[in-house]
Structure 1
C-alpha cells in the first residue's frame, strides 16, 4: 500500500511586484498556514518518505516553513518543473515516475491541478464528506492524504484512492479563514 499526501502551496503575496508568476512569494498568512499544517502532520505522526515539488518560489517558501514544522527537514525535496501549473494528467505522470521505493509520497504544487488530481484519484461515492470539501475548493496550504492499494507508483490510475485525511489552515486556526482560501 502507498500513501499520497498532497500539499497546496501557501497563500501568495500578491502585493509584491514580480516579473513572473513563478517568482511570486508567500505572505504572512501563508507562512502561518504552512506552519500550522506542518505541525498538524507532525502531531498525527503521518510518515513521508519523499517529497516531489514545484520549484516555484511560493512552493519552495511553503516547504521551507512546512518541513521543519512537520519534522521533515531531513528530506531533500525533488524539484520537478513539470509540477508548476500542471494538469492532473501531468501530475499523475510525475507521481508514476516516482517508482516503488517510496511508500509515503508528498507532492506540493498548485491549483487547479492538485484539486483535479484528488478528484480524479478518489472515486465519487455517496456521503464522502472529504471529497465534497475538495470539490468545494482546495485552499492554499490545504493537505489531503490518500491511500492506494498499489505496490509501485507506476500502477497509479484514476479512481483508485481513498481519503484518509483532509485539513485546511482554517480548520486549525479560524483566524485564517476565509481570506486564506484565495490563491
Structure 2
C-alpha cells in the first residue's frame, strides 16, 4: 500500500511509531511496491512532481498570457509549464482546451496533480484551471493583480465555480 499526500505520510509515520519491532518488517513490506518499475517512472510520480513544481511558484505574480517563470504565468500557462517540465505530454494552451483534452475523475478519487476546472466570473464555459495538491487544496494563478497561490476547494467561491476534476495521465487503474 503506497500512501500519497500529506495525510498518507502522517498516517504512515504514526503507524511506524506505533508498530512494535516485530511488526516493523511487515509494515515495510507493505510499503514496498510490488511493481519493479522505479517510482520516478510511474505516472503518479510525474503528477506529484508537477504539483510540487507549481507550489514552488507560490507568490509569483499573475501574468495574462504568461507561460514561463521569467515573464510569469496565467492559470493555464502555469499548468502547461509544470506538466511539461515534469515530462508529461504537452497540453493545449487554454483551460478550455485542457478540459476537453483530459478525462473526468470523481472528486473522491482525486490524486495530487489532477486538474481542477472552473467557470469563474459568471462565465458559461471553462475559463480557469488549477492543480490539486491534496487535502482539498489546489494551486493556481488566479487573475490580474493577484499572485500564484494555494486555495481550498471547499471555499464557497470555488465550490460555486467548480466544473469538475480531470486527469491527463492513465494511472493504470
TM-score by length of 2: 0.29
TM-score by length of 1: 0.28
**Which of structures 1 and 2 has the bigger CA Rg?**
2
